Structure formats: structure tokens, C-alpha cells
Structure 1
Amino acid sequence: MSNNTQEISLSSDKGSFLWRFSKKFQFAADKVIPDSFVFCVILTLVIFVFGMVAGSSPIDLINGWYGKIWAMNGFAFQMSLMVIVCGAAAKSPQISAGLEKISKIAKTRNMAIVMLLIFGLASSVINWSFSLILTPIFARQLSKNVKGLHFPLLIAAGYSTMLLGQSWCPSASAYALLAGKDHFLVDQLGVMPQSMTTYNPINTILFFIIAAVTIGIVILTKAPADEVVSFEGDLDAAVAEEKTVESEMTPADKMNNNKFIMFLLGIAGLIVIATSIFSKGFLNSLNFNFVIFMFLVLNVFLYKTPTKFTGAFSDSIKSAAPVMIQFPFYSGIMGLMAVSGLATIVANAMISIATPNTMPLFAYLSASVVNLFVPSQGGQWIIQGPILVEAGKSVGAHMPTIVNAFILGDEATNLIQPLYVIPALSLVGMKLKSVWGFMAFIWFVWAIVTSVGLLILPSIL
């Protein structure tokens, strides 16, 4: 009797309530969401049509699109290089062995999830690019060693921690800009130090609430055993070595396999890194180029010879192709938004009915909508910042909270608009549709928690 009962229980297992709820979002992803490049093209066409409805001519929109399509070339190259250098490091025997040891600390599914998400949050608060690349690498190792981890959910949740960390991170574009003495809104706002924006009590409390809720819902979103998808890639895909007998090596072969050349290069890189950290401090040194350079130097020591070093990069270049292709198109979308004035229309429509108490919520909602089409915090602040500042001041709202709400909204809808998840997907060989439903599910929860927090916290703090 007990055996039959157990069999019935196992066969009827449909996963937790939150798993079943999350599948409603995933169903839409399976049926509707195309590959990330097609998603980008469709988004471009949608904005083009909206631009014409708003009164812009097709020729103006096309010229605006082309005028901005190359504006993110530098950023696209940086992101591509980040994918390449981090991918090469992750495939090295040394890093793979280290991650395997760390992942073995997790003995249960829940412990693995907590480790991953805390790692994602902590690394994002230091630097978002660290978190974007290292969190999926850690997730795939955890998925290999711990039973019951649904890998697409891990990738979506890990990515969400990178986004959430930006709301409490000193290097977030808007926070860093407003703390400067010559930002373009200084006459209206003055200088806003990070103690006023990033680390004010409302933002800090809301950050930790959302973080705790995120960890909780991921733990409770438990798939049934027959629906768990584990990482299926090769974690040990080290670069193949061509072994050459020493006596048969030509002078060229000896130079190509010379460890001393790489050692000198690595020492020079360490000197640059140390000089920057000692003169500026670690956090102040962490701009995007510096992070890439640190991984570049790390690879010099990991691969030790020129042949292995270049071979590792050649092996990782394929992962960067989606970034190189899609970033110019997203830049073009920003051009369409600027020419059509849609960002201003959307923002003005939402904040026109705001009050001092509801203004942070409307700032959050308007930033969320505009970010779908202007996926750059700095670029979005240039477009939307003056509108929010004018509206906030006109109703007497608390301006630091308006800035916090803007950044929370900007980051939240990066869970729906897939630009920044592309490098992470490339590293683990996944398609957008595999994770988009879980990303949308997390966004839905965030939207509820953040909206309630922005309405309640300012009135009690």
C-alpha cells in the first residue's frame, strides 16, 4: 500500500505552485519569443511604426536609425571582448578546478541557489560586468554537481542579481553622473553624493527586500524531477594542445611556445593593475576596460604560452558573435526613440497625473517602459532625466527617491528586453526562449514588490 502511494505521488508531481505559475510565462516564451536577434529586429519595426503614428516621417526615422546604429560600436567591442576573455578563463583547467571545488560546498538544491544568488549580488555591487559573466559560469558548475537544479531558472535568476545590484552600486551610470560637479542637471539638482542617492535608507531597505524576495521565490520555484533541465555543455572544454617534440621544434615553434615571453607580458600587466589600485583604490579602478584587462592578464598566466593563449581566445570568439551582431541594432532603436520623441511622450503621459506620494511609482513605471526601447541607463537618463526632475520638483517629490525609482525601473525591464543577457547566454550556449519566461516571471514579482515599496517606504522613513 505504501509503495503504491509513493508511486502515485511521484507520477503526479507537477512541481511547486510557483513553478506552475512561472510556466505560464515560459509557455509564452516557447510559443512567442523568437531568437534574440529576431526579437531585436521585431522591436525595431515596432518602434518604427509607433514613430510614424507619433508623426515622424519614414525617411526621418530611417535616417535617425542609421545615425545611431554605430553609436555603440565601442561598447559592443568591449562586451564582445569581455565574453571572449572571460570565456577563455572559464575554460582553463585551473578555473574549472577552482569552481568545481567551490560548487561542491553546496550539498543541496537550496544551498546551491543561495550561494549563486548571493555571489551574483555581491559581485554586481562591485561591478556589473563581473556578475554578468562569472555568475552563469558558476551556475553551470553548480548545475553539474547538484541534483535538482533547473539550469534555465539558474541563468535567469543569476542574471537578475546582476541587474538588482545596479540599484545599490556606486558605479551605476546615473548615480555616478549625479555625484559629479558638472553633470548636465546640476543647476536643477546640485551635486548629489552617493550617500544621498545610492545609499539612502529607502533605497537600501528596498534593495535588501527585493534581494530576499528573489532568493525566496527561486528556492520555492521547484520543478518536478522529470522537468529539470541540467547544463548539458562541456565544462572541461580546454583548448587542445599540439604537442611538439622539443628536438623537432623550429625557431618559430620555440617562440610560439615560449613561456618567458608571456611571463614578461603578465608582469607588465600586474604592474598596471597594481598601480591603478594603489593610486585610485580597487572600486574606483573598476571601469569596463580595467575589468577586461584584468581578465586578459589572468589568461596570460593561465595559458602561459602564446600558442595556448591565442588558441583559448579563438575557441571563445564564437560566443561573442551574437553581441557583435545585435548591439548595433539596439543602438539604432535608441536613434528611433530620439527622432520620434516617443520616450518623452511615454514619460510625460505617466507623470502628468503624479502626486508627491505617487511620483516615485510613476518614475519607476515610466523608466520601465522607456528602458524597453532605450537599453542604456546613461542614454535613458539623458532623455528622461530632465522630464522626471521637472515633474518631481513641480509636485514637491523627494528627488533622491525619484532617482532610485528611475534606476530600479531601468534595471527591472532588462529582464524583459534581452540586450544584456545575450553575453551570458552566449557563454552557456542557450537560446533566449529557454530563459525569457523565467526572466519575465522574476520581473513580475519585482514589479509588485517595488511598486508597493515605493508607495509605502517614503511615507514611513
Structure 2
Amino acid sequence: MSGRSEPAARGTVIERAGEAIADVVERWMPSPFLFAIILSYVVFVVGMIVEGQGPTEMVGFWYDGFWAFLEFAMQMVLIIMTGFVIAYHPRVNDALQWLATLPNSGRQAVVLVGVVSMTLAWIHWGLSLVVGAIFAREMGKAAYQRGIDVHYPLLCVAGYMGLGLTWHWGLSGSAPLLLATPGNEFIELGVVEDTVGTSATVFSTYALALTALSIAYAAVVLYLLSPSPTRSRDISAYVSEDALLERGSAAETTTDDADDLAVDGGTTASASDSGGSDDTGDGPLPAERIDNSRLLGGLIALTGVAVIAWEFYSQGLDALTLNVLNFAFLFVGLAIYTRPMAYRDRFGEASEAAAGIILLFPFFAGIQGMMAGSGLAETIAAGLLAISTPETFPVVAWITGAIVNFFVPSGGGEWIVLGPSVLEAAHELGLETGHATIAYAVGDAHTNLANPFWALPLLAITDIRAREMFGYAVAMLLALIPFLAIALYVIPY
């Protein structure tokens, strides 16, 4: 890799401050797992001090809640894994390379990456997380090869904007989809009486207007933040020259049917995929042909897609739940790959990305167990009520979600911890559950722009360091504050 080159002039005050903050974060901020442990102790101590509970009682609440959200954790695992698998298909990479040829200036390149990232995040946050990173890198390479000056750190921030703005209001948003799932934890806790359909959250005019306006506003800010060509640092300052001359990205090395396999009608064989070959040299074994059968894979994939189509035909938009979303992307991915063995192998590669969710969610459930059992959740709800009115509550919910997201860097885990308190406060003020849910989700997504944890896949793919891009991420976070405050207050539900 070539060394980091610096522009002739230093960056703006905001950029330098952001880079300094990101550098401190990169050096000193502990892992999300340690955050979960620290928060467990914080809630443990606060429950004893504020609610007068004893240590034995608090440990009991923690233990009783620890395994309460296993189903939800598995749903989150499938979201990130199905998005990862689809994003790393070579055909997706081909489409990104074509899109990278469209911009004629650095500002256009940054805006296009940002809009794609934010739009995909509304559809599926796991897909946006990986595709946004790949697209930022491909756009940087295309601009370098075409002689277009584009600031690579800002390009990487644009690829991260989906996680920093629109994901939690969309089709894969943890909070709205959890409420729409039959028998969910909020029903069991008595917070809501029945499921809350996505027509009241994701597909409400409130959420749709907020999404459209936010994408447009963020695109303008990205355009204005783009440095002039003379101040831009292109991808060559961060990625080796050999990598810049390559045609594709890491996505192309995952599975390419023409390179890895011999295709014969509906059957395909690969020793690497099947784990073996015929010792006699007479060709693939029957088991290998079955494992790689496009006919079998395609048939089951089309069956799954047909089931999803029927669900929406019969139930409308309210058919969307976490289970339906995961079912849909599971079979769409199989339809793209068609070969069952290749699809299984891609899931094996995606499993590492989901390891953190598997580890963290039991701890989040334990935290919620302590908050609910000790009465701390009710106290928080009362605190929200004390400083809120029906008009200002969406803004208060947004700020609450933004603050807590610094300590619980997981939308689903955060909603499990404080969601009951937010909804109870909203109900006391006479606000709709869907209204409060979306407002809270805005805060959860917003402060991802100051949190490098979810950016780890992007940092690895783009070959950039956190402190080199988070100056602009913090600038985006600050620029969004007045817009979100006004939008949440003004847009009618």
C-alpha cells in the first residue's frame, strides 16, 4: 500500500476536529462486547440505587431475562448473513462497476454512492453495509482510472450513509419489524396488546416522507462537503497501485461459475464445493451433481419467492415481518446463486460477520430483564414524560435513541433495552406506537455516524482507517441535527 499523502492545505476546522475525535475513538473505545458488559454493570448498580433492589434480586432479573430474545437474535443473524451473501455475488459487483462509470465529477461520485447506500439500507441494512463499501471502493478505482478527482475519505462516508441514516426506518428495521412479528417480546412484556403492522411504521406517510426528505438532504450535504479537486485525496493514497489496476474487487473472488465450475445443463460439479471427486477420473459423483444442481436449487428458490408473493397478495403491506423479510432474502439469494453448494459456502463466509450478534444479544436480553424486573424501565418512561409534550416527544425519542446508541451499538439490542420505556411514555401522551417507534429509530441510526463499530466491514473493504474518514462522518452527523429536529417536529403522522 502506498503511504497516505496529504493535501497542500490542512482541512477545515470541522474536518480536523472530527479526525482527532475518530483517532481517540480508534485508540481507546472498547469493543461492543465490552460495552454490553459495562452497561450490564451500570444497569445493575442503577437498579439498586434508584429502585432500591438488592444485588441478589438484580442478578435474578438478569438471569431470568438472559435467554428471552433467542428468536430475535437469530432473526438479526439472518439479516446480516443474507445481505452479505447477496452483496458478494459477482453479478452485483458487475452492476456496481457499471454504475461507477456514470459520474463525471468527484461531487457526483460521492452523491451517487451515498444515494445508493441510503436507498439499499431502506431495503436491507446488511446488503447496504457490504454493497456500500464495495461501491465506494469501485467508485474510487473508476475515478482514479478516468482521471476524476474525488476525495476518497468522503466517498467511504457516503458508502456508510445507509447505516448512518435510513436503515432503521426501512424494510429491515429492527424496531418496526419486531413489533410486527406475532408473539414478539413486547407483547409478552405487556407493552403492546397485539402486533403493530408495518403500515403504521415503515410504510406510514410519516416514515416515507422522512426517508425521502432525508436522502435528498443528505445528498445535498455530501455534495457541499466535497473538497475541491486540488484538495481531494484520491484512492491511490490508501490502496496499493496493483489493486487499483485490477478489474474487480474481492466480490469477484467469491464464486464465478465460469472460472470455478464445469456446467452441464442442470448439473454442475466442483471438487472445491463438494469436498471430493470421483477417484476413477470418470467425472463427478452423482452426489456432487446433486449438490450443485441448478435445477434443484432454482426450483426451491422459485417456490420460496412464490410463497412471499402470496403472503403480500393475501395480506398486503402488513405481511412484512422479520420472518417474512428473512425468508424473502434467503430465497432471493438462492435464486441468484442457484447452486445449493455454492450458496452454502457463501453462508459459511458470512458467519463471521454475524458472530458479534450471536454473542451480544443474550447480554442485551439480560439488561432488559434487569430494567423490566427492577422497575427501572418504568422510571425512565416517567422521566421521558416529565420533559415531553405530544408535540416534542418525537424529538425527545430521537435524542434518547441517539444517546443510548453510543453505549449499545446495535439497533435491535438498543430497542430491547429501552423500547418498552419509550412506548409506555408515548402511550401516556396519546401518541401512536408507530410514530414513537420511527422517531426513536431515527436516533439509533443517526449516531452510527460517530460510531466506528458498524463501519468495520467498510474499513476492511475500502482499506481506509477509521480516523481518516470519521472526520467527515462527524460533519455529516452535525449537519443532520437541525434537519432531523425540524423534520421530526413538523412532519405529521
Tell me the TM-score range normalised by the shorter chain. Answer: 0.7 to 0.9
Structure 1 residues 364 and 259: CA distance shift in structure 2, 3 A? closer
Shift of residue 174 of structure 1?
9.1
**Once the 2 structures are TM-superposed, how far is the Cα of residue 80 of structure 1 from its aligned partner?**
1.9
Q: What pairs with 1:6-405 in structure 2 (closer than 5 Å)?
A: 11-54=7-50, 55-126=52-123, 131=128, 134-147=131-144, 148-150=151-153, 152-163=156-167, 165-166=169-170, 172=176, 194=200, 198-199=204-205, 209-222=213-226, 225=232, 234-239=250-255, 242=270, 247-281=282-316, 283-354=317-388, 358-366=392-400, 368-369=402-403, 375-377=413-415, 380-390=418-428, 392=429, 399=431, 404=435
- Whole-angstrom distance in 2 between the partners of 1:26 and 1:350: 31
CA separation in 1, counterparts of 2:180 and 2:351?
32
- Taking only the aligned residue pairs, the percentage that are identical comes to 22
Partners of 2:47 and 2:376 within 8 A in 1: yes
Question: Equivalents in 2 of 1:298, 1:192: separation in Å?
Answer: 21
Q: Aligned partner of 1:50: which letter? A: V
1:143–1:273 CA distance, 2 compared to 1 (3 A) = farther
How much does 1:154 deviate? 3.1
TM norm structure 2:
0.70
Give, as a single letter, the amino acid of the residue that structure 2 aligns with 1:252: A
Per-residue CA deviations over 1:313-369 (Å, capped at 9, x if unaligned) read: 223222222222222222222223223433333343343244566555444444545
Instruction: Work out the CA distance in 2 between the residues paired with 1:191 and 1:225.
Output: 46
- Cα displacement string for residues 286-325 of structure 1 (whole angstroms, at most 9, x for unaligned residues): 4333333333333334333333232222232222222222
Indicate the SS of the match to 2:327.
helix
Q: 1:16 to 1:108 in 2, by over 3 A?
A: farther
Q: Is the 8 A contact 1:123 1:130 kept in 2?
A: yes
8 Å contact kept, 1:412–1:443:
no
Shift of the alpha carbon at 1:143? 4.3
TM-score (norm 1): 0.74
Instruction: Give 1:438 deviation, angstroms.
Output: 6.1
Q: Tell me, in whole angstroms, the C-alpha distance in 1 between the residues paired with 2:333 and 2:342.
A: 10
Kept in 2, the 8 Å contact 1:361–1:405? The answer is: no
Distance 1:309 1:288 in 2: 21
Amino acid at match of 1:149: Y
RMSD value over aligned CA atoms? 4.5
- Equivalent residue number for residue 148 of structure 2: none
- Checking the alignment, whether the CA contact within 8 Å between 2:79 and 2:326 is kept in structure 1 is yes
Question: Does the C-alpha gap of structure 1 residues 432 and 265 become closer, same or farther in structure 2, counting only changes over 3 Å?
Answer: farther
**Aligned-partner Cα distance in 1 for 2:213–2:306:** 41
Deviation at 1:64, TM superposition (A): 2.0
Provide Cα deviations, 1:378-430, integer angstroms capped at 9, x if missing partner. Answer: 7744333222332x35xxxxx46x96466323431344479x99677457747
* Equivalent residue letter for 2:115: I
Aligned residues: 433
Is 1:114–1:215's contact at 8 Å kept on the other side of the alignment? yes
Instruction: Structure 1: give runs of 5+ residues left out of the alignment.
Output: 1-9, 178-182, 394-398
Q: Say if 1:320 and 1:423, in contact at 8 Å, map to a contact too.
A: no
Classify the secondary structure of the residue corresponding to 1:248. Answer: coil
Question: Residues 19 and 222 of structure 1 are in contact (CA less than 8 Å); yes or no, is this contact kept in structure 2?
Answer: no
Output the amino acid matched with 2:291: N
Mark the CA change 1:192 to 1:96 in structure 2 (over 3 Å): closer, same or farther.
closer
Letter in structure 2 aligned against 1:97: D
Q: Does the aligned pair in 1 maintain the 2:439–2:488 contact within 8 Å? A: no
Deviation at 1:159, TM superposition (A): 0.8
Structure 2 stretches of 5 or more lacking a match? 1-5, 145-150, 182-186, 244-248, 262-269, 272-276
Give CA deviations for 1:54-84 in whole Å, capped at 9, x if unaligned: 2332222222222222222222222222333
Task: State the shift of 1:165 in Å.
Answer: 3.7
8 A contact 2:23–2:466 mirrored in 1 = no
- Take 1:174 and 1:250, find their aligned partners in 2: how far apart are those partners? 45
Contact 1:85 1:295 in 2 (8 A): yes
Describe the SS at the equivalent of 1:289: helix
Report the residue type matching 1:352 in the other structure: A
- Distance in 2, matches of 1:387 and 1:47, equals 20
Contact persistence 1:363–1:405 (CA under 8 A): yes
- CA distance in structure 2 between the partners assigned to 1:327 and 1:171 by the alignment: 14
Give yes or no for contact 1:262–1:300 (8 Å, CA) kept in 2. yes
1:347 and 1:370 in contact (8 A); partners too:
no
Is contact 1:70–1:331 with CA below 8 Å preserved after alignment?
A: yes
Tell me the distance in 2 between the aligned counterparts of 1:145 and 1:353: 51
Aligned to 1:7: none
